[in-house]
Amino acid sequence: MAKRSKLIKFHELGQMAGVIEYSDPDAENKLRVFLDPKKDLVLELACGKGEYAVALAALEPEKQFVGIDYQGERLWYGVRQIEEQHLNNLIFLRTKAEFLEKYFLPHSISEIWITFPDPHPKDKRGHKRLISPHYLKLYKKILKRDHLIHLKTDSDLLIDKAIEAIDIVHGRVLLAMKNIDAFPDRPGILDMQTTFEKRHRSKGDTINYLKFKI
């Protein structure tokens, strides 16, 4: 039944206007049509169901948002929210983070949110972390000079590895919070909880946040 549900979501996703598929030969042009160079552009990587992208788009209608994930059945939920909430400043892109340069012009991105990515705890897979030096160097190519990157995660390891990677690429940590609940003056957007975050909180895990530049 779960497999059938997944296939149905994939089929429906292909007919929805709020998503661009990497397999579409016209994907880059469709994204260009959506983007307004006069507006700040914010990406959410590893966006899953797109819950953070949806919340941000509703909160900041003057900006544009692109939620990026490779798992189409997850994106289905976010695309549905675009339709239900009539969000005209958000679109989803089904692709992998390694192909960002294909879709976004140099120095065109104002902010990147990385929300609960796979921490890849084994060092031999460290290069796959979305906060590895390899990826930070990639992000730098598409980020504006005045930019922000946000990392929200339940993984202490990922926060530590991110700080190491930021130092390697000569970046700068602006704000670091291990256990955001211990900071009553935390930014309000951090109180938005995704399905994934709620699952970790129910197990007693703490949530961490990092804001930085590269």
Verify whether residue 118 is a known catalytic residue: yes
Residue 74: its H or E element = helix 72-85
Chain centre distance of CA 156: 19
Strand-pair category, 19-21 with 208-213: unpaired
Q: What angle do CA 131, 42, 90 make, to 5 degrees?
A: 125
Q: How far is CA 56 from CA 65, 73, 123, 167, 189, in A?
A: 8, 21, 33, 28, 8
pTM of the complete model: 0.92
Phi first, then psi: give them for residue 135, nearest 5 degrees.
-75, -35
Please give the domain boundaries of the chain with CATH numbers for all domains. Answer: 2-213 (3.40.50.150)
Cα–Cα distance measured from residue 200 to residue 194, given in angstroms and rounded to the nearest whole number = 10
**What digits encode the pLDDT tens for the residues 49-75?**
999 999 999 999 999 999 999 987 888
**What digits encode the pLDDT tens for the residues 133-167?**
999 999 999 999 999 999 999 999 999 999 999 99
Res 8 pLDDT > 70: no
Tokens matching residue 126: 């460290």
Chain centre distance of CA 133: 17
Cα diameter, the chain: 49
Which of 118, 160, 167, 191 is catalytic? The answer is 118
As a whole-number percent, the residues of the chain with pLDDT over 90 amount to: 85
pLDDT band at 123 (very low <50, low <70, confident <90, very high): confident
pLDDT given at position 1 = 44
pLDDT given at position 72 = 77
As a whole-number percent, the residues of the chain with pLDDT over 70 amount to: 93
Cα–Cα distance measured from residue 189 to residue 132, given in angstroms and rounded to the nearest whole number = 25
pLDDT given at position 71 = 83
Res 15 pLDDT > 70: no
pLDDT band at 30 (very low <50, low <70, confident <90, very high): very high
